[in-house]
Amino acid sequence: MGWKIHINDGMESSGVQALKNAGFQVSEDKIEQEDLQKQIHSFDGIIIRSATKIRKEIIDAGTKLKFIARGGVGLDNVDVSYALQKGIQVINTPASSSISVAELAFAHMLSLSRGLQEHQTKMNSGESFTELKKKYSQSSEVSGKQLLLIGFGRIARELARMCLGLQMKITVHDPFLQKASLTFEMEQQKFQIQFPMVSLDEGIGSADFISIHAPFSGQAILGANEFSKMKKNAIVINTSRGENIDEVALIDALDKGIISGAGLDVFHGEPNVHSGILSHSKISKSPHIGASTIEAQERIANELVDQILQLYRQRLEVGLI
């Protein structure tokens, strides 16, 4: 095999070795975004994560490209339709990181419900143990609370499974679905739970927790208007795309006590993050690590390798190699 494949945003070592064992030429040195257009012509395929953007000008420059592989779910950093027009296969791994991202969303929910993100800072700063204990005795349980899922794809479904274990009441807003349900199997019997479908306004008005699991469609899903309709104890979680929340409106809503807190794994303009987000005590933050678990990275690598090998064999069979 002679394809030359470049991995630009890193890949689990087992996946890299599997590509090499299959006979591919693999390079891993990071190419900065501004230099990629000049170097892409050397590669038959490129593997990226969320950091690298593959736009029209880079696709045009990639005269040898057979595939663009995105390790992860979203493809909004790739001009997919243009690549397909040029005969370039676009690969991603939508199922591999679902559990990891759902667990992180759940972790932010738990952290915010008990004020853990504030405990860490204030205990380290030397504030009175007794006073802190008294202040946070008014925190809340997650159990039994109302959760609105905005979008009901793989990650949202995994989060729903976890939250059912704490007897949370779940509603779903997804304009692309007519129903939202989960199937469970116990003792060789299948059970199905169906969740109420609600409008966005109806959902945000009654939810204690709101978790976003939708692609960015060109405008924020939650802004000042939406925050104004939420309960004062509402907590917003975003592990989807930073642009799905108006960050300025979010900071304002938290400062004014319109909502209670936010858990964010994604941000506008990554890797640069709004200073008001970074310093806010009511925001639980993580640096876009939803899929960054050992297990997810191994699944992503294995799935990418399998798809690349399948593509190579298909092209070999029809005489395109």
Catalytic positions, written as ranges: 241, 270, 288
- Cα–Cα distance between 196 and 30 in angstroms, integer? 46
Question: Count of CB atoms within 10 A of residue 265's CB?
Answer: 23
* Nearest residue to 10 via CA among 47, 65, 62, 37: 47
Our CA dihedral for 105, 291, 306, 94, rounded to 10 degrees, sits at 40
The two structure tokens encoding residue 304: 């990418």
CA 72 vs CA 28, 87, 112, 263, 268: distances in Å: 18, 22, 26, 21, 19
* Nearest residue to 56 via CA among 37, 38, 43, 70: 37
Sign of the alpha-carbon torsion through 153, 154, 159, 161 = positive
| Under 8 Å between Cβ of 308 and 69 | yes
Query: What is the three-class DSSP state of 92?
Result: strand
- Cα–Cα distance between 318 and 321 in angstroms, integer? 8
- Cα–Cα distance between 31 and 131 in angstroms, integer? 51
DSSP single-letter state for residue 6: E
| Residues in Cβ contact with 87 at an 8 Å cutoff, skipping those fewer than 6 apart | none
| Under 8 Å between Cβ of 285 and 108 | no
The two structure tokens encoding residue 141: 């349980």
